[in-house]
Structure 1
């Protein structure tokens, strides 16, 4: 039975990492859910208040990193809030509309369309902003992956030691 429990916990964590490339999946919630699942299936005894404070701070950092990286990438290339919203919609819709490349093309096109429609920017300027949204998204994925790896590593360190 213990093996089945560990498989379920691993599945939760794996889904969390899949959420990095499919943003519709709330990745951090699955990782945090895997930690909670361990507690319910085994024990919460190893998890002291320091563990929970660190994990919750990492969850907050993940949510913040996602927004800040996207905003920074768009703002750096002259974009606006409309570009940020367009990019966000593109990130969510892209993988479903263009399965193989939508995760990259979606935020690019979303930012371009938003800037052209809302702020009447020309195609060249809007394309630069779209490029910034892709840079922001990629930075966000790398940052979130590192934070999630730290969350899982810290969890495993506490559980296995």
Structure 2
């Protein structure tokens, strides 16, 4: 059973990293569930303080993911239309991966710009607001990715530390 929990936990860690970029998946909470599954194995001693701290970090990052883009948009004079455009641009980059990794950067900016142009007549203001929406989006995405990657590192470190209990044949 430990091997099944370890494999499912590792898959959740990878899905959590993917969720850092996909707006439909909450990356850090999914990664946290992977940490929880690792803690539920008989080989890894349960550490509820560790789970509590990492769980709190996951919840804080999810909350900040809503706050940071709004702050970036507001600071640069943007609107909700710019934020919606950013999300639509991200989805376009995932559905049509023509530009590869650059598409994840370019399409959200184009989406924010189009959203702001639809909402405002002034091109200069729309460009500035689109930049703010885009920077807020990038900041939130980077924060989610960073936390999910740290959770993956913790998962691997804990699994490695208790590898003989997880894989008895290694003894």
Name the TM tier (shorter chain). Answer: 0.7 to 0.9
Residue of structure 2 in register with 1:132 after alignment = 132
Cα offset for 1:143?
A: 1.7
CA 1:15–1:113 in structure 2 vs 1: closer, same or farther (change >3 Å)? same
What TM-score does the superposition give when structure 1 sets the normalisation length? 0.75
Cα offset for 1:25?
A: 3.1
Looking at structure 2, the residues matched to 41 and 3 of structure 1 have their Cα atoms a distance apart, in angstroms, of 8
Give yes or no for contact 2:75–2:132 (8 Å, CA) kept in 1. Answer: yes
**Secondary structure, counterpart of 2:22 in structure 1:** coil
Gaps of 5+ in 1: none
- Per-residue deviation, residues 115-139 of structure 1 (Å, max 9, x unmatched): 2223x23223212222222222222
What TM-score does the superposition give when structure 2 sets the normalisation length? 0.72
**Secondary structure, counterpart of 2:77 in structure 1:** coil
Looking at structure 2, the residues matched to 121 and 14 of structure 1 have their Cα atoms a distance apart, in angstroms, of 42
Residue of structure 2 in register with 1:80 after alignment = 79
Cα offset for 1:13?
A: 0.7
Looking at structure 1, the residues matched to 52 and 4 of structure 2 have their Cα atoms a distance apart, in angstroms, of 28
CA 1:8–1:52 in structure 2 vs 1: closer, same or farther (change >3 Å)? closer
CA 1:80–1:145 in structure 2 vs 1: closer, same or farther (change >3 Å)? same
Residue of structure 1 in register with 2:107 after alignment = 106
Give yes or no for contact 2:27–2:144 (8 Å, CA) kept in 1. Answer: no
Gaps of 5+ in 2: 163-171
Residue of structure 1 in register with 2:95 after alignment = 96
**Quick check: which has more Rg, 1 or 2?**
2
Give yes or no for contact 1:16–1:31 (8 Å, CA) kept in 2. Answer: yes
Looking at structure 1, the residues matched to 3 and 94 of structure 2 have their Cα atoms a distance apart, in angstroms, of 33
The residue correspondences of 1:117-156 to structure 2 (distance < 5 A) are 117-118=118-119, 120-154=120-154
Q: CA RMSD for the aligned pairs?
A: 3.0
Cα offset for 1:2?
A: 5.1
Looking at structure 1, the residues matched to 74 and 37 of structure 2 have their Cα atoms a distance apart, in angstroms, of 39
Residue of structure 2 in register with 1:26 after alignment = 26
Looking at structure 2, the residues matched to 42 and 130 of structure 1 have their Cα atoms a distance apart, in angstroms, of 50
